Every structure is written in structure tokens, then in C-alpha cells.
Amino acid sequence: MSQVAIFMGSKSDEAMVRPCADILDSLKISYTFTITSAHRTPERTARLVQELEEAGVQVFICAAGLAAHLAGAVAAKTIRPVLGIPITASPLGGLDALLATVQMPPGFPVGTLALDKVGARNAAWLAAQILALQDQDLSKRIEQARQKMIAQVEEDAQSL
């Protein structure tokens, strides 16, 4: 049973989105990772949301570039939290995807993260924090991971 679903609009997004899956792996969070498009496979997208929500998915993570309607299309179909990762895929440097992801109508929010790999990583961390509301063991794993990150900064500072 997947706790999280990661959708990306194209295979071309994978390099930017893979870090999201890697962090979920490190936190022992189960997930489904697949390609589906708001415009090219709208019926597949709607079907996946229904099937995965019925199967127990708690958080949807959606990555897309250009018009980047994927997160919004998913948010239209579920009241589970939807986290959006805008992907840089045009000469506009990701601004197109950022605005398309964040500017949702009232009542249908998409929690929008930063562009590309940074956003992919933080989508995983935020999804983990949402799940951790009901999972003490996961909370501990997140705290331990944070302590490692803090220690690394302090170690790096000492090494300058």
C-alpha cells in the first residue's frame, strides 16, 4: 500500500523529481511513482487519483513544467493534500510552471514547493511531515535526519 503518490507530467521531468523518491526511500515511506499528464492523459490522471486514494494514498506530489496543470488537475479530484513541484522546462526558467502551480482558485489549494530538485526534496520532507502527524516512528526518523543535516552544517563550518 502506497502512502504517497508521485506524479510527473513527462519522462523528461525524471531527473528533477527522482530526489523526491530518494528521500521517501530514506524515510521508509511507501510510494507510487508514475508519469501522467493533465493534458495528454487526463482520463488516466483522474483514474489514478481515484484508484490510489481508494488504495490508501494520503498525499499526492505532482511535478510538471510549462503549463504545469497536473497538480491543479489532481487537486480538483481529491481533498488529500496535493504538493506541487514546478519544473523548469522552457526559456521562462520555470516561472511559467511556478505560477501555474501556485495560482489555484479558492478551495482547491496546491502546496507549492520550490522549482526542480530543491522543490522535489522539500515535497518529500513536507509529505513526510504530514504523514508524521499520525506516525510517531516516522516523526523520530525525521528528527534524526534533521539532526544529521544540522551536524553536517556545523562540521562544514569547522572545516573552512
Within 13 Å and on the Cβ side, how many CA atoms surround 67? 8
Among 21, 57, 87, 123, binds ligand RP5 (CB under 6 A): 87
Among 48, 57, 59, 64, binds ligand RP5 (CB under 6 A): 64
Q: Using the minimum distance from each CB to ligand RP5, give the nearer residue, 4 or 63.
A: 63
Size of the site for ligand RP5 (CB under 6 A): 10
Give the other-Cβ count within 10 Å of 32's Cβ: 18
* Positions 103 through 142 that interact with ligand RP5 (CB under 6 A): none
Q: Is 34 in the site for ligand RP5 (CB under 6 A)?
A: no
Q: Is 41 in the site for ligand RP5 (CB under 6 A)?
A: no
Dist. CA 16–CA 59, nearest whole Å: 19
* CB-based contacts of 38, cutoff 8 Å, min separation 6: 9, 45, 64, 67, 69, 70, 72, 73
- Does an H or E element contain 83, and which? strand 82-87
Listed ranges 6-14, 25-33, 47-55, 78-86: which one lies at the site for ligand RP5 (CB under 6 A): 6-14
Residues within the interface to ligand RP5 (CB under 6 A): 9-10, 12-13, 37, 64-66, 87, 89
